[in-house]
Structures are given as structure tokens and as C-alpha cells.
């Protein structure tokens, strides 16, 4: 049977059209060109820490007792301190219960990452390295290095510069931030290393050295214990910002905490907390200070 050239051309055209239509119907799902959308899946959403805390009615805060006066164990075995009072205020503001969980300092961020705790409040300095593993609120407290002065040798010191003269001796605890800072600041006075902070404190109390550069909280605690032999100059020689840690990239929780701190920090209640834990030191009767 012979087909005309015209018939063959028409047949080829029809076959090509059929093939094209089949390709559109079978390949549309892969190319995303189908005219009828498939049933949409319910989008998966991750709740923020704040949402989860409000839902369960409890805020779980991780801390590491031992950093006076931020978190300590009292004689009854309770965790107390400036950070605990901050945590209580946050829980009260959210209208939820507070549970404090005790960890070693190195275990806090892993516990946060695995969801065992909601936030960390533990005198934790905001650093770039830590920010790779967790996100931080704005600072809730600024601390740093301060100067402890021997009353016996220097009853009227107003600044570290008053001790930066030949013949004066500044004690530091070997390997600390204070040791590194003192060796940068003091160009004329001798900077002397001690194995531990208490050893330097004993030397200052006895008048064997003129001053010590060390963490502000440690200086305040020792001065409160030995007011007759030493005093503190609390203008910070360097600053360390302490922040509240939350799970990485939990921006909703960070935004809430920053708003909370903006309205709370430096207010009357916050100032009363600072006075209670950093100035009056009545809490020392409740804890074992070694």
C-alpha cells in the first residue's frame, strides 16, 4: 500500500503532537509545570524557646555554681546568687515556674544544644567562639578586671596609675586575664606572679605587695572579708560582657530577652540586686566561703 507524501507528513505531525502531550503530562511533576498543584504538605515549624516555655509553664535554667556572687550553694544546699535572681525575674515576667539545673561549666552549652535546659545564665562571657555554638542576649552585666589595694602601704590610691611607679609591686594570679592585662598596663611597677589568687591576697593583706589585678567579683568578695587590710578600686581596667545563652539562631527568644533586659536593666529592682550581691555582701553568711 502506497501512502502519499502529504499523508505521511500529516501522520508525522500527529505523532509528534501526541508525544509532546505525553511528555508534558509525565514530566510536569518533575519540572514543576503542571497546571494542577499537588496537595500541599503542612509546613514544619520549630517553636522558639519562649513559646515552648510558655506552653509547658516552666523555665529550665542551666548554671554552674562556684562563681561568686553569680551562683553559689548555700548551707542548705540551694543554688543562690545574682544570676539566680535574674532567672527568677525572667520566669516571673513570663508567668512560669523556674527550675534551676546544676552543671559543670563546660557542660552548659552541650545541655543547651540537646534541649536539656532552656537557657544558660552562668556568668558566661560573650565570646566569638561560644557564639558559634549558641546565641547570646545583650549583656546583662559588665564585669572585668579591677584592682585590690593593700591598706598598709597605700591608704589613698584612686587609680591603678597611682601604683605604676618604681618600687611598687602588683600581684597577679599566674595565667589569668588579670596577669596578662597587668603586664601590659604597668610599665614602672613590678608585676609579680602568684600561683593562685588567695596567695596574692595574703601578701597584699600583709603589706608584702601593693595591689592585685583580678576579676571584679573575686576582689569584691575578698575585700568584704578583709576590710581592715585591703580595699578595692572598682573602675574596670577591662570589660567582659556577660550574656544569657540560648539555642543557636533562636532569634525570637533573643529578641524577647533583649526587650526584657532593655526594660529591666538599670532599673530600681536591678540596682537593688547589684547592691545585694556585689556591695552589701550579707549573703556571705549563707554560704561556705573558702
Query: What is the pTM for the complete model shown?
Result: 0.73
* Alpha-carbon gap, residue 82 to 68, rounded angstroms: 9
Is the pLDDT assigned to residue 12 strictly greater than 80? no
**261: CATH:** 3.40.190.10
User: Can you give the pLDDT at residue 13?
Assistant: 53
Taking residues 231-239, report their average pLDDT: 94
Same domain, 268 and 134: yes
Taking residues 59-66, report their average pLDDT: 95
For the chain, give the mean pLDDT. Answer: 86
Which residues, 6 or more positions from 237, have their beta carbon under 8 angstroms from its beta carbon? Answer: 144, 145, 146, 147, 160, 181, 185, 213
- DSSP 8-state class, residue 113: H
Taking residues 4-17, report their average pLDDT: 50
* Alpha-carbon gap, residue 258 to 230, rounded angstroms: 38
Identify whether 34 is part of a domain: no
Identify whether 43 is part of a domain: no
Domain count, the chain: 2
Same domain, 167 and 232: yes
pLDDT tens readout for residues 110-153: 999 999 999 999 999 898 999 999 999 999 999 999 999 999 98
Q: Above pLDDT 70, what percent of the chain?
A: 84
Q: Which residues of 155-192 are buried (b: 16+ CB within 10 A; e: fewer)?
A: eebeebebbbeeebbbbbbeebbbbebbeebbeebebb
Identify whether 131 is part of a domain: yes
Is the pLDDT assigned to residue 39 strictly greater than 70? no
Identify whether 26 is part of a domain: no
Range of the domain at 233: 144-240
Lookup result for grid cell 596578662: 180
> Where are the alpha helices (H) located in the chain, listed in sequence order?
5-31, 49-56, 82-94, 108-113, 177-185, 197-205, 216-225, 251-264, 268-274
Amino acid at each position: 500500500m502506497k501512502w502519499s507524501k502529504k499523508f505521511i507528513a500529516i501522520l508525522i505531525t500527529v505523532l509528534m503532537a501526541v508525544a509532546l502531550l505525553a511528555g508534558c503530562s509525565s514530566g510536569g511533576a518533575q519540572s514543576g509545570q503542571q497546571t494542577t498543584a499537588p496537595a500541599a504538605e503542612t509546613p514544619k515549624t520549630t517553636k522558639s524557646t519562649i513559646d515552648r516555655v510558655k506552653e509547658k509553664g516552666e523555665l529550665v535554667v542551666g548554671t554552674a555554681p562556684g562563681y561568686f556572687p553569680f551562683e553559689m550553694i548555700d548551707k542548705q544546699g540551694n543554688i543562690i546568687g545574682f544570676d539566680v535572681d535574674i532567672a527568677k525575674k525572667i520566669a516571673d515576667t513570663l508567668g512560669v515556674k523556674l527550675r534551676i539545673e546544676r552543671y559543670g561549666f563546660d557542660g552548659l552549652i552541650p545541655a543547651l544544644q540537646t534541649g536539656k535546659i532552656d537557657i544558660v545564665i552562668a556568668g558566661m562571657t560573650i565570646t566569638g567562639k561560644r557564639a558559634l555554638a549558641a546565641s547570646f542576649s545583650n549583656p546583662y552585666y559588665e564585669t572585668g578586671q579591677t584592682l585590690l589595694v593593700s591598706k598598709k602601704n597605700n591608704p589613698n590610691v584612686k587609680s591603678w596609675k597611682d601604683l605604676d611607679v618604681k618600687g611598687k609591686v602588683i600581684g597577679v594570679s599566674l595565667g589569668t586575664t588579670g596577669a596578662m592585662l597587668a603586664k601590659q598596663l604597668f610599665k614602672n611597677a613590678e608585676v609579680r606572679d602568684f600561683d593562685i589568687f588567695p596567695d596574692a591576697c595574703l601578701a597584699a593583706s600583709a603589706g608584702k605587695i601593693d595591689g592585685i589585678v583580678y576579676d571584679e567579683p573575686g576582689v569584691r568578695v575578698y575585700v568584704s572579708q578583709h576590710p581592715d587590710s585591703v580595699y578595692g578600686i572598682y573602675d574596670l581596667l577591662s570589660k567582659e560582657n556577660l550574656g544569657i545563652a540560648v539555642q543557636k539562631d533562636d532569634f525570637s527568644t533573643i529578641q524577647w530577652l533583649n526587650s526584657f533586659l532593655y526594660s529591666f536593666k538599670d532599673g530600681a529592682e536591678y540596682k537593688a540586686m547589684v547592691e545585694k550581691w556585689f556591695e552589701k555582701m550579707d549573703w556571705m553568711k549563707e554560704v561556705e566561703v573558702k
